[in-house]
Amino acid sequence: MKVIEHLQKRTGTLISFEIIPPKRGGNIKQLLNVLEDIVKFEPPFIDITSHAADVVYEETSSGDFQVKVKRKRPGTLGICALIQNKYDVDAVPHVICEGFTKEETEDFLIELHYLGIDNVLAIRGDTTTFKKPMKFGRSRNNYALDLVKQITKINKGNYLEESLLDAEKMDFCIGVAGYPEKHFESPNLHVQAQYTKQKIDAGADYIVTQMFFNNQKYFDYLKICEDTGIKAPVIPGIKILTRKSHVNNIPKNFFIDIPEELSGEISEAKEEHVLEIGVNWAAKQVEGLLNRNVPAIHFYIMQDSTPIKMLMKKLHY
pLDDT digits (tens, 9 = 90+) for 36-58: 999 999 999 999 998 775 545 55
Q: Lowest-pLDDT range, 180-184, 255-259, 274-278?
A: 180-184
Instruction: Provide the CB-side half-sphere exposure for 297 (13 A, CA).
Output: 27
Res 161: pLDDT: 83
How would you classify the pairing of strands 234-238 and 206-211? parallel
Angle of helix 144-155 relative to helix 189-201, nearest 10 degrees? Answer: 20
CATH topology of domain 3-314: TIM Barrel (3.20.20)
Q: Which residue type sits at 50?
A: S
Q: What is the mean pLDDT of residues 234-250?
A: 96
Q: pLDDT tens digit string along 132-141?
A: 555 666 788 9
pTM of structure: 0.90
Q: How many CB atoms lie within 10 A of CB 112?
A: 23
What are the residue ranges of helices labelled H in 28-143? 29-38, 76-85, 102-114
All structural domains of the chain with their residue ranges: 3-314
What are the residue ranges of helices labelled H in 10-143? 29-38, 76-85, 102-114
Q: What is the mean pLDDT of residues 259-285?
A: 97
CA dihedral 72, 111, 3, 158 (to 10 degrees): 110
Check pLDDT > 80 for residue 63: no
H-helix or E-strand containing 189?
helix 189-201
Q: What is the overall mean pLDDT for the chain?
A: 90
